[in-house]
Amino acid sequence: MLVVFSFRANPGKEREFEELLNDPDAARAVARAMGAVRNALFMKDGRMIRVFEFPEGATPVPLHEIAERDPSLKDFLRKLGPLVEDGFDADRPETLVAFNKRAFVPQAFDVKV
């Protein structure tokens, strides 16, 4: 199962946004904590697209739950929130939930050839 999120940096924050997100080790840790087996990042002009792959039947662990269990992830989210267009406050889980709903891109189809 593929899950995609996309969001933009606040104007003028693109460089800081991209530097913060472009960390393969952190991405691996987030994917593992969510239950994903893959985490691919695409970035261009302050827009981020992240694709997670989950085993069939798996239920992804929500980001706000992981943040409550992992202080390093919560610190990362505190840095990211102000850089993101229509961002979030990592110390207020409801804002993370709302952000994830806005950033989630529904899958139209998945064709195997």
The dotted CATH code for 2-105 is 3.30.70.100
Q: What is the mean pLDDT of residues 7-17?
A: 96
Q: Where are the domains of the chain?
A: 2-105
E-only strand ranges, 1-113: 2-8, 38-44, 47-53, 104-105
pLDDT digits (tens, 9 = 90+) for 41-94: 999 999 999 999 999 999 999 989 999 999 999 999 999 999 999 999 999 999
Per DSSP, the three-state class of 16 is: helix
C-alpha distances out from residue 98 to 1, 60, 90, 95, 108, Å: 22, 16, 12, 5, 22
